[in-house]
Structure 1
Amino acid sequence: MLPTKHKSSLPYTLHNKKGKQYVCVSVPANLRHLYGGPQIRRSTGTSDRAVALERAAEKYRDIIKDLEDKESQLDPFVEGIRDILQHEGADVNEWYRSGQIKLVVRGDKTAAARMTGSRITVDVEGKLATLVENWSGKTYLELAGMVTGLGYALPQALLSGLSQNDHSAIMEATKPVGIPPSVIGKAYRDDPELAEAMFKNAPATTQHVELQTAKTLMPTFSKWAERYKADKADKDSADVQHKRARSCAMFLKVCGDFPLNEYDKVHMLDMARYMDDDEDGKQWAHKTIKNYVSYTKQAFDYTGETRNNLGKIILSAHPFHNLRLGEFGAPAKPYISFNSDELHSIFNQELPRLDKLLLAILVTTGMRLDEASLMTWERVIKHEGTLCFALVDQINGNNQEQVLVKNTGSKRFIPIPEVIKPLLGNFGVGRIFSHRIDKEGKSEAAASDALMPYVRKVCAHPQKVLHSFRHTFIDLTREMDITDVETRKFITGHSLGDVGGEYGSGPSMGKRLAILNGIKHPWLV
C-alpha cells in the first residue's frame, strides 16, 4: 500500500518551490481523501540541492510514518472490498468523507435484470433502454449486499473485525430466505401483477450476502479447468484437448474440488499414487502418469498467466514444482524389432500390392507409419537427381499442402531404395494409400487396423507392432556398421531435417541412397 523504492531511483523526488527544496512522495489512492492532493511535500528548509539531499532521507522517514499512521485509521472491512467496488466504478474514499458508498449499476448486473432475465427496459418515451440502478451502502450489511449483488463473494475473513451486531446481521443475510429470484423472474414473464406482489415480499437484492462458499475471486479447480481447456482449445489438436480433459478429470476425481490456492504438493502426488494402483488394481504406465501430471500442472501454470476480472493474477505461485515421479507407474516397454524369420513370414503372406508396398516402405526407409500412409504421388519426385519421398512443404520451389509430420526435424527427403521401386507400379495422382483420415488429419489408426493382422499372424508379442519396422530399420543400419550416423538420422527424421535453416540442407541424396541400397532385404525378393 505504501510507496516502495524503485529499482533505479529514489523513493521520493526533490522539487524546488518558492526557493526551497521539497521532498515529494506520492500518496496511495486509498489515503488521498486524508490529504489535500496526490502528493505529500516536506520542506528541507534549504535551497541548496546538495544540502537538501542530505536532509531528504529524514524527511522521507517522517512522511512514511505519517502515511502509516493514516493507514492504520482506515476501515479494514471497506479496504477488504475496495478492489471489487473500485473495479465496478465506485469511489470508495467516499465512505470516509460521507459515510456511504454510491454506485451506478447498469445492464446485466442490475437487480431487475437478475430477476427478469432481461437487461432492457422501456423508458418514459416508450423506447428500449438499458436498465440503470443507483445503489448505496451506508452500513456494513449494505456494503456486503452490494458486493454480492455485483456477483462477487464477500471474503469471510473481513467479518472478524466487526462488532457482534454487524457480524450477526451479515451472517443472517447469508441464509437463503424469501422467494428465489428465478421464481420471481418467471412470474414477471407469466404474470407481471403477481410478480410485483411477490417482489414486495422478497428480500431486497442488497440484503442477500454470499460468503466464499459460492462465487469467489479464487475459482475452484473444476471451474478453472473449464476455462483453462476452453482458452487453450483454439491452439490445441483434438488429441491434446482430450488429454487436458482426462488429466483434469483425474485430478478432480482423486483430489476433490477446492479453491485453487488450497491445494498442496501432496495432492498431485496423491494422483500419481492412485494411478500407480487404482481402484481396479490397474497400474498405469509411468509415461502416462507423467503426462497426466504435466497437463494438470499446466492448468496451474496458466493461473499465473491470467488475470481475474479485477485485473489481478489468479494465482501468483503454486506448489507443483520439482515433483519426483520416478517411483510411480509401470516402466515403459520399448518396441522390439522383428528378426529375420519374422520378416520372411510377414512378407511371404498373400499381401495386396499396396499393403505390401506400405510395409516395404516402413522396413526399407524407417519412415513412421503416418508419414507413409499419408504419402501422395505428388510427393514422389526427383530431388538432386534421385527419386525421393518428399516430406517437406515446398517441392521444387512450389508450395504443397502442408505435410503432417512429428516435428520440423521430420521434414526431409528420403531416397527410394531400389528394392521397392518395382512395387510402386504406375505413378498416379493423390494419395498412394486409401486408409481413412481422422479429424486430426492422420491415418495411422486406420492403417494400423489394416496392417496389424499381418503382424499378428506371425507373432503375438505385444511389443512387436508396426512401429517395430522403424526399429528394425535402425537395427539393420547398425548391423552394416555405418559410421555416418548423421546421414542415418536425416533418413529417419531424428535430425534437424532438410528445412533446418541455418544448419543447411543435410547430407546429399547420394549419401542417403547409398545407405538405403546397402541394406539387404531378402524378405522382399
Structure 2
Amino acid sequence: MHQRRYHPATLQRRKGKYYVCVTKPKELQFGADRQARRSTGTSDKRQAEYMLHELTQDIYKEFDRLLERSDPVYERLRPVLEQEGINTREWYSGGKVSVRVTGGRTLAAKLGMGCQDIKVTEVWSAENHLELCTLVSQLGHPIPADIVHLLPEEEREQFLNLTKPSDIPSGELVDFVTGAHERGLADLAKTSLEKLQSLSRVQIAQDDVPEPSGTTLQSIIEAYIESRPERSRRQDRGQLAKWMQHPEMGKKPLGEVDIYDVYDFLNELGEDLSVSSLRVFRAAMSNVYNWCNKQRDLGIKYNPWRGIDMTGMGQDAVDRLPFTSEQLHHLFKLDMPDDCRKAFAILVTTGLRGGELVQLAKRQKVEVKDGIKFLDLREITTKNKGSKRLVPLHDLANELPKSFTQQKLRSLVRRVTNDPRVVVHSLRHTAKDLFRDAGISKEVSDFITGHAQGDVSGKYGVGPSLQVRYEAINRVAHPWLR
C-alpha cells in the first residue's frame, strides 16, 4: 500500500465511453500532459462507477512506480528548463535533455568570437547532474545552493569544482577556438581563451534566490487588498478571513501550504458552505498566490490552489466517507506515537475538528465539573459562534495529546486506506454516525459537535446539560479503543 496521497479520481465521458481520470502529481506533469486516464471500456455509467476503484488503484500504483525513479536534482531544476522551452520529458524517456541556442546567448558570442557575417547555432545537451547544472547556468540561471545537498556524495566535489574558474576549456570549446585560429582569427582566439579561463561554468545562487517563504496571509493582506480593484476589496477581505481565522492554517507560511492542506481545509469548510461558496473562496485564495508569485522578494513560486478537484465537496455535494468499523480497528492497531493515538481517540469520540484539537492540545487544559472531564471550546478560536461549546471527554479518551501534527495524522490514515474521500476530518462524520446509531438525539449530537447555537451565553444551562452530553458520548462503546 503506497504512502503517498494523490488527487481523487473522476469519471469523464470521452468518445462515447467513460474514462477514470486522475490529475498527476506535479513531478509527473509535463506541459499539457497533466492527467492519467484508464478506459472503463463501457458507456454504462453505473458499470463504469463499479470499475472506478480498481482502475484508480492501477493509476496510483503507476504513479508510485514513476515517482520511485523521480530525480530530486532534476525536479529542482525542471521549472527553469520548462521556462526555456526544453522538452523535459526527455530526461526520463531518453536519459538527456538538449536545447538549441542562437545569437548572444551562444558561447561563441560570450567569448567574443561572433561576427556579423557568421550566424552561430549551438546545441547544448546534458546527460548527468553535472552537465545539467552547467547547462542551466550557461542559459543564465543561477543554480540553487541547496542542490549540493541533493547530489550524491561522489558528485558533490565535482559540482563544487564547476563553480571555480576553468583551468582548461572543454573539448568542444578547444575545437571551436582552434577552428577560429585556423581561419585566420588568431588574435580573436587568444582573447577568447583568456576570457574562457576566467569563466566559471556554474554560478551558485546565494542571497538573490529566496529561501522558503515565511510569509503568512496576515502579513501581506493589506498590500494584496490594495492591489485589488476597489469594487472587490470588501468581498476579498471577507473570503480571506476564513483562512486567517483558522487556528492552524491562519498561522502557516504561504510557502509551506501544500495541496493536501488545501484539500483538508476545503473539506472542513465544506461542512458549512455550499459548493458555489467553496469555489468563490478557492478563487480568492488562488488569486492571492498568483499575486505572490509576481512578488520576487516573497519567494512563493507555487500555487497549491490551482487545479483543485472539488468533486464531493460542499454542504450540497456528496459527503466525505466516514471510517468503517474495520478501518477504525486497523487505524488503532497501527504502530504510532502515543500522542497521535490520543488525538485520534478524542477526534472519533467527540467529533472535534482537527484545528480545534490543535489549539486545545497547546493549552493542555482539561476542565472538571461534578466529576466530568470536559473541554471548554469557548476559550479558543472556532469556526463560528455555534462551535463555542462544552465537550465532555469519553472515559476511554480523556487525556489531551501534548504534541502531534495533522500532517502526521494524515500519513497514518493513508496507511489504512487510499480512498481520498476518507480523511482525518472523516472522523468527525464517523462520530456523528456513531452518535446516531447509539440512539443519541440530533439536538444533543449537534451541541457536542458544534452544529447547534453553541454555549455562547457562558452558562451551563443552555441546551443539553453537561451531564446529558457526557452520558451521550459514553453511550458509544468504541471497541477499537479497548
The higher relative CO (CA closer than 8 Å, separation ≥ 6) is in 2
TM-score by length of 1: 0.34
Which protein has the larger Cα radius of gyration, Structure 1 or Structure 2?
1
TM-score by length of 2: 0.37
